[in-house]
Structure 1
C-alpha cells in the first residue's frame, strides 16, 4: 500500500467481505502510523453490526458509537484516537453532531453503502459527506464501500470517483468512456465477483449459480377489474389536476405515485392505504380546515422528498428534533415507520380530492375486498413455489416492497406451512433481538425455513 493517501472504492459483490476488508486495511494504516482517528459512516441499521464487528478485531475501548446523547462527551475529550461509527443521516440531519464531527482531524473516512451518497438522489448526504468530509480534505484516506457502485447513471458513479481523486477531469462527459473505466480498475475501483472466488481464489464452487425466472400469472377477473379501474383513476387524477398550483400539483403527483406503487404491491397494501385515505379525510374535515390539511400534506411531502430521496421503501431515517415535533403533531408518533409516514401523507393529501374522487376510491376499496375474498393469484402462486422449494430442502427469502405486504405474505404463508415463517421489516430490523433471532434461527439454524422481508434485509444482515 504505497499510495499516500489511500482513496479507493471497494465494490465487491454482496457477501464477499467488504466490511472485513475495510477493517483490515484500516488496522494496517493504524499499524504503520497513517491512521489514528477513523470515522465510519453507515446507514442507521448497520451501526450496531459495525460496532460489533469492529469490537471483535479492535480493542473494544477503541470503538465508539456517536449518538446525539454523547457527542458533547467526545467533543470535550477532543475525540481521542480510535474508531468512531455514526449513522450517516444522524451526521447529515443533526447540526450539532455534524459541526462537532467536521471539526475533527480524521485520518481515515469509511463510508458503507456509499451509493447512498449521491449528488442526484441524496443531495444533503452528498454535500456534507461527499464534499465536506471527503472532497475538501484530499489528505485523508478514504474507503467507499458499495456492492452496487454503478446504478446505471454515469454522472452519479463518476462523481463518487471524482471526490476520491481530485485530479480527475471535472467534466463528467469527458470521463464517460471505456478507456477511463478501464484505467480506474484496480487503481481507484476494486471489485471482486463471486465468479472470481469460485474460479480464481478458491477454484471450487463456493457460491452456487443463481437462476432468474419470471413467473407470469394470469389475473382473476376481480384482479383484472381492480387493475383496470386503478389505472384509469390514477391517469384521470393526473389529467384533472394538471393545472393545479405548484405545491398542490406536486402533492397530487406524489399521491398518484404512492397509490400506484401500493395498489399494485398487494391487496393488503392497497386496502390499508385506501381505507386510511377515506377514513382520515372524513375525520380531518371535521377537525381542521382544508387549508391546514393541505399544509400538513405538503410538510409530509417535503419530508418524504428529503428523507426518502424518491425511494419509498427506505427503512432508515435520522430525524432532527424539529422534525420529530412535526411528525408527532402530524403522524402521532416521533418514531414512525415509513409506512406510517406514507399513509399519513395519503390521508392528508386526500383533502385535495373532490367527492367524486372519493367515491372512486371507495369503489377501489370494494374491488380489493373482492380480490381478498375470491383469492389473490400472486399469493396463491407464491404458496405453491414455497411448498415446492421446501420439499427440495431449501430455505427461502421472499423480498417485497412494503411492510404491509410483507406482513400479509407472512400471514398467508403461516396459514399454509405453520410457524416456520419469520417476517423482518424496518421496524423489526431496528431491534437487535429480532436481528439476532433471524441470524440464529434462519441463517444458522433451522427454526425458520422462510424469511419474508423488505429491502432492509439486504443491508441489515450478513446473509452469507
Structure 2
C-alpha cells in the first residue's frame, strides 16, 4: 500500500481519519489553488461525497493495494462479517424484532405484523382487531422492525389524551423506545420553535393535534411512520361536513410515508362513513361503498385487517395423542340484565322531568336548525341521560342551569345575546373526551329559548322545583337502582369476600362521586378513574395509574369509572363488571367489557346491566339488550357484541330518543325505529366477514408454529451478542468489565469519542449515545431481574460498536485473510458477496450475505456465512495456492443463488401489488362510472336550459 497523494487515481480505494469507511475514488480534479476536488463513494454506505482536500490531507490517506493479498487481519475480517450479519439480522430471523423486545406475542399479533404490515412495500393499513387484542404490542413491533430496516426515524403516535401515557409507558417498558409526550403547554412554552420538527419520536393527543393553531406546525413535518390509535374518532360525520378530526386525518395521511390506523370499532354501522374513513389510508382506492363491499366479497381488500376475539388463540400445545390443540385466548362473556322499577316520588320525578324535557325539545324542534334550538335539544336529551344515571347527577345539572339562567337574568341583554357554542354532530359528540363534554354542557346551561324575562323566570322556577324533588328522592335513601345495587353486591358475595373485585361503570362524574360515597359508607375500599384525573404514576395518589395499580394489587375492592377508563386500561385481574347506567352509544358497551375481557383473563366475565323497565329509555335499552342476546344465542357467537357498532351507529339511540322527546315519534314507533336494523341475518353476515379484509376466519397456525420454530433456530442468542461486543470492544478501544456472577453482563467505561462520532453518520436514526452506560446485559431475563441496561441490536451502544467494527474491518475486507480449517484437506477459498434487491425508488427491499466456496476441481458451492467461526486466523503462506487467483464466481452465484433471491422477492412484491391493483381498479371503475353519470346529467341540464348548468 502507498500513502503519496500523487498516486490517487480513479478506481482506487482510500482509507484515513477523514472518513468513517473505505472510499472508492470516482473522480479526481486539481482545482488550481493547491487543493484537489475528489468524488468518492463509501464502500459500505454506497453514498457519494464530493470533498475538497489539501495536499496535506491527501498525504494522510492510505491507498489500499489493488486485488486480494490475503494479508489482512483474520480476526477483524471475521468480526466485520459478523457485524454486517447482525446489521441485517431481520433478514434471516423472521421474528427478529421479537428477539430484542420484552414481549411474548400471540399468533394473531405475529400474523398481523409479519404477514401483512411488513409485507407491504409501504404500510397503509387499518388494523381493526377487537378490544383487548394487543394493538399497542403490534404497533410497537412495527416500530421496532421498521427501525431495524432503517425505514423509520421520525415517528408520530396520535391517540386520545387518556391513552397517551399508556403508549409512552408500554413502548418504554416493552421496546425500550423513548417517546416525548407533547402537550399544548409544551408548544406554548416554546413559542417560535416548531416542536414537531425538533422531536423525532412524539406522542400527542388527537384533540390537541386537530386544533387550528397546531395544524400549521404539524403540516411542516414529514413523518416516516404515523400510528393513530382509536382512529375511528377521525371518521367523517354526516351530513356532508368534514370534522376537524377528519381534516387532521387527511393531513396525517399526506405527511406520512407509513400510516397505521388502529381501532376496535371501524365501521360504526354507517357504510358511507366507513368509505370516507378508509380514504384516510388512500384517497383513490376507496371510491364508494359499493366498491368496498365488492372488494370484501372478492377478498381483495388489501388495506385492512380485522379479527374478532373468538378467532384468537394461544400457540397450540401438543396433546398426549400427538395432535395439537389451541386454547382460545378469550373467555366467555355472560351478560345479565338487572331490571328494576321506580315508583313513588322517584317515578313522579321521572314523569315531571320527562314532561319538561319533551316540552323544551318540542319548542326547539319547532325552530328548525337554529343553533340555539339545537343546543337546547341536545341539553334536554343530556338531562334525560343524567336522570337515567342517578338522581344526584340530574339534580346537579338542574341546579347549575337554574343558577346560570339567574346570573343571565341579572344582565337581561347579555342573556339574549348569549351565543350558543358550536355543536358537533351527534356522532362526534359521542366520541368527545369526558372533560371536553363537561365543558360543553357548562356552556349550554346558559342557553335558553325563552322569549322574554318572564319566560326565563318561569323556567328557573320549574328547574328549582324539579331540583327540590330530586333532593327529596335522594334524602329518602330509597332509590330503586341503588337498592338493587346493594342487593346484588350481597348476592354476588362482595360483602363476604373482600378479595373479589368489581369494576363499576357510569357515564357521569357526578354519579361516580355519588357511588363512591355510598360504597364507602357500606364498608368497601373504593377507588375511581375519571376524565379529570391526570395519568400520573403508580406512586402518585389521585392519578389514574395509581388507582389502576391499587385495584390490581387488591388494595381497593371496587373501582368506579367513567368512560375515561373505557379505553386503554387493562383490568383483567377482575372478571365482574356492573354497568350502572347503559351508554346510549353501543360501542361503549364493548369498550367497557374490553377492560376485563382481554388477554390474561382466566375467568368467564360476568356483565350486569342495570335497566329501569318502567321508563321509556329503560324499555328500549332492555329490548335492545334482549334482542342482542337472542341473536347471540341463535348464532352461538360472542362476536355479536364485537360488531354491534357496525349495525348501530354511535348516535343512533341518541337520535331516536331526541326525535321522541321532540314529538316526532310516538311510544308505538320508538321500538320499531330503534331496532329496525337489529336482525339476525345482518349480524350473521357481519360476524362471518367481520371486516376481515385479507384475513381468514382462522389463523394459519401450522405456518406460524413452523416459522416460530425456525426463528428459534436462527435467533441471535445473548451469548452471541455478548461475545461480539467483547471481541469488538478491543478494536475501539473500550473496556467492558465482565460481571462474573451475572450471565452475559458487563460494565463499560466511558463512551469514547470513536463511538460518539457515529451519531453524526447521515443514516444514524437512533437516540444519542450516553456518555457512560450503567451495568449492561445482553440477556433479557438477567436485565429485567436486576434492572440493568438491556443491550441488543438496535440499541445505540450496540449499533455504534457494530458500525465502528465494520469501518475497522474495511481494510481486511479489501485485502482478504487466511484461515486454518480442520474441515478441508486441501486449500479452498471462500468469497463473500452482499446482495441487495432495490425497488424503483431505490429503496432496499431485501439484503443478504452469500458465501461461495471454491475448492480444487470441485464446482462452486454455497456455504453458511457463519462458517468462518469454525476456522482459526492464520498467517499467509509464502506463496498463495492457485485457488487464490481463480476468478470470482459471479456467474455461478447469479445462476445458483442471486436469481432465486430476486425471483423470491419479485413474487412477494407482485402478490402484494396485484392485490392492491385489483382493488384500485375496482375503485377507479366506480369513480369513472360516477363521473360519466355526472357528465351526462350536466349535458341534460344544459340542453334543458337550467341556470348554472354550464
**TM-score by shorter chain over 0.5:** yes
In the alignment, which of 117, 122, 126 is matched to residue 246 of structure 2? Answer: 126
In the alignment, which of 338, 357, 367 is matched to residue 234 of structure 1? Answer: 357
Task: Give the 5 Å matches for 1:410-449.
Answer: 410-418=516-524, 420-432=525-537, 433=540, 434-443=543-552, 445-449=553-557
Deviations along 1:223-253, whole A, 9 cap, x unmatched?
2211211212211223345444823322321
Change (3 A) 1:74 1:152: farther
In the alignment, which of 305, 312, 328 is matched to residue 424 of structure 2? Answer: 305
User: Would you say 1:395 and 2:501 are equivalent positions?
Assistant: yes
Is the CA contact 2:272–2:288 (under 8 Å) kept in the aligned structure 1? no
Is the CA contact 1:15–1:463 (under 8 Å) kept in the aligned structure 2? no
Change (3 A) 1:75 1:180: farther
Deviations along 1:64-88, whole A, 9 cap, x unmatched?
2323454459956883674211112
User: Would you say 1:451 and 2:569 are equivalent positions?
Assistant: no
Which runs of 5 or more residues in structure 2 are unaligned? 1-117, 318-325, 573-950
Partner residue in 1 for 2:415: 293
Is the CA contact 2:379–2:445 (under 8 Å) kept in the aligned structure 1? yes
Whole-Å Cα distance in 1 between the matches of residues 194 and 175 of structure 2? 24
Task: Give the 5 Å matches for 1:165-184.
Answer: 165-172=282-289, 174-175=290-291, 177=293, 180=296, 183=299
Deviations along 1:74-133, whole A, 9 cap, x unmatched?
9568836742111121111152x32222211211110011011111077111012x2122
Is the CA contact 1:276–1:347 (under 8 Å) kept in the aligned structure 2? no
User: Would you say 1:339 and 2:438 are equivalent positions?
Assistant: yes
Change (3 A) 1:351 1:49: farther
Change (3 A) 1:398 1:236: same
Deviations along 1:168-187, whole A, 9 cap, x unmatched?
24122x135365266266x3
Whole-Å Cα distance in 2 between the matches of residues 460 and 210 of structure 1? 19
Q: By how many angstroms is 1:371 displaced?
A: 1.9
Task: Give the 5 Å matches for 1:193-342.
Answer: 193-198=308-313, 203-204=326-327, 206-244=329-367, 246-286=370-410, 288-289=411-412, 291-296=413-418, 298=420, 301-302=421-422, 305=424, 309-311=428-430, 314-315=433-434, 317=436, 338-339=437-438, 341-342=440-441
Is the CA contact 1:36–1:81 (under 8 Å) kept in the aligned structure 2? no
Change (3 A) 1:306 1:100: farther
Q: TM-score, normalised by structure 1?
A: 0.83
Whole-Å Cα distance in 2 between the matches of residues 131 and 77 of structure 1? 21
Whole-Å Cα distance in 1 between the matches of residues 503 and 375 of structure 2? 35
Structure with more strand by fraction:
2
User: Would you say 1:366 and 2:468 are equivalent positions?
Assistant: yes
Deviations along 1:359-391, whole A, 9 cap, x unmatched?
332332232123213311111111222333324
Is the CA contact 2:364–2:374 (under 8 Å) kept in the aligned structure 1? no
Task: Give the 5 Å matches for 1:83-94.
Answer: 83-94=201-212
Q: CA RMSD in A?
A: 3.0
Whole-Å Cα distance in 2 between the matches of residues 52 and 297 of structure 1? 42
Change (3 A) 1:312 1:65: closer
Whole-Å Cα distance in 2 between the matches of residues 424 and 77 of structure 1? 31
Question: Match of 1:212, SS?
Answer: strand
Whole-Å Cα distance in 1 between the matches of residues 509 and 310 of structure 2? 33
Is the CA contact 2:392–2:510 (under 8 Å) kept in the aligned structure 1? yes
Partner residue in 2 for 1:325: none
Deviations along 1:270-309, whole A, 9 cap, x unmatched?
11111112233223322x23x42344451xx32x538993
Change (3 A) 1:252 1:189: same
Larger Rg: 2
Q: By how many angstroms is 1:157 displaced?
A: 2.2
Q: By how many angstroms is 1:442 displaced?
A: 0.4
Whole-Å Cα distance in 2 between the matches of residues 452 and 351 of structure 1? 38
Partner residue in 1 for 2:483: 380
Whole-Å Cα distance in 1 between the matches of residues 279 and 162 of structure 2? 28
Deviations along 1:177-233, whole A, 9 cap, x unmatched?
365266266x32223333233477683354331111111101122222112112122
Q: By how many angstroms is 1:255 displaced?
A: 2.6
Whole-Å Cα distance in 2 between the matches of residues 181 and 457 of structure 1? 36
Is the CA contact 1:39–1:83 (under 8 Å) kept in the aligned structure 2? yes
Question: Match of 2:429, SS?
Answer: coil
Is the CA contact 2:237–2:425 (under 8 Å) kept in the aligned structure 1? no
Whole-Å Cα distance in 1 between the matches of residues 486 and 277 of structure 2? 42
Is the CA contact 2:275–2:288 (under 8 Å) kept in the aligned structure 1? no
Whole-Å Cα distance in 2 between the matches of residues 307 and 40 of structure 1? 26
Whole-Å Cα distance in 2 between the matches of residues 346 and 181 of structure 1? 49
Q: By how many angstroms is 1:314 displaced?
A: 2.8
214-223 vs 356-365, which deviates more? 356-365
Change (3 A) 1:152 1:312: closer
193-202 vs 227-236, which deviates more? 193-202
Change (3 A) 1:366 1:372: same
Is the CA contact 1:429–1:456 (under 8 Å) kept in the aligned structure 2? no
Whole-Å Cα distance in 2 between the matches of residues 32 and 75 of structure 1? 31
Question: Match of 1:152, SS?
Answer: coil
Change (3 A) 1:83 1:241: closer
Give the length in aligned residue pairs: 430
In the alignment, which of 193, 197, 215 is matched to residue 79 of structure 1? Answer: 197
Is the CA contact 2:349–2:469 (under 8 Å) kept in the aligned structure 1? yes
Whole-Å Cα distance in 2 between the matches of residues 69 and 372 of structure 1? 41
Whole-Å Cα distance in 2 between the matches of residues 67 and 425 of structure 1? 19
Whole-Å Cα distance in 2 between the matches of residues 73 and 52 of structure 1? 28
Deviations along 1:148-173, whole A, 9 cap, x unmatched?
2222122222322232234424122x
Q: By how many angstroms is 1:345 displaced?
A: 2.4
User: Would you say 1:142 and 2:264 are equivalent positions?
Assistant: no
222-231 vs 162-171, which deviates more? 162-171
Is the CA contact 2:129–2:135 (under 8 Å) kept in the aligned structure 1? yes
Is the CA contact 2:128–2:265 (under 8 Å) kept in the aligned structure 1? yes
35-44 vs 80-89, which deviates more? 80-89
Change (3 A) 1:209 1:417: farther
Change (3 A) 1:454 1:386: same
Whole-Å Cα distance in 1 between the matches of residues 506 and 376 of structure 2? 25
Is the CA contact 2:143–2:152 (under 8 Å) kept in the aligned structure 1? yes
Change (3 A) 1:398 1:3: same
Structure with more helix by fraction:
1
Which runs of 5 or more residues in structure 1 are unaligned? 318-337
Q: By how many angstroms is 1:261 displaced?
A: 2.0
Whole-Å Cα distance in 2 between the matches of residues 292 and 102 of structure 1? 39
